[in-house]
Amino acid sequence: KAGVTQTPRYLIKTRGQQVTLSCSPISGHRSVSWYQQTPGQGLQFLFEYFSETQRNKGNFPGRFSGRQFSNSRSEMNVSTLELGDSALYLCASMVDQETQYFGPGTRLLVL
């Protein structure tokens, strides 16, 4: 099976812009979770989607949002970008309540 894919892999934006990141889970996986990784805060949970519904949300401002489509693909959006949003954004998929498998990540740089 193909693994979790994330696009784009690298992205440069300026403050105030918005960005949309995409995640395609492993075939058959219905749960998609998003994480942010920064040098200062480490790996932090953003939110999780299952069957197009957000089930869990981490402690992030409302500028961070996401959605899941009927084919389980997911997108996350960050509006009004800030310098501190520069990070590696990781997507993980699982069947449900089982082992999570991570994608390669999208590295976002906000200038």
Residues in touch with another protein (CB under 8 A): 4, 31, 33, 35, 42-45, 48, 50, 55-56, 58, 88, 90, 92, 94, 96-105, 107
Contact 11, 19 (CB under 8 A): yes
Q: Which two tokens stand for residue 7?
A: 């696009």
Q: Enter the tokens of residue 15.
A: 């403050």
Residue 69 beta carbon to another protein: minimum distance, rounded to whole angstroms: 18
CB closer to another protein, 4 vs 81:
4
Considering beta carbons, is residue 85 or 106 the nearer one to another protein?
A: 106
CB of 102 vs another protein, minimal distance in Å: 4
- Residue 108's H or E segment, with its range, is strand 106-110
Residue 48 DSSP class:
E
Structure tokens at 37: 């990784």
Tell the smallest beta-carbon distance from residue 104 to another protein (Å).
5
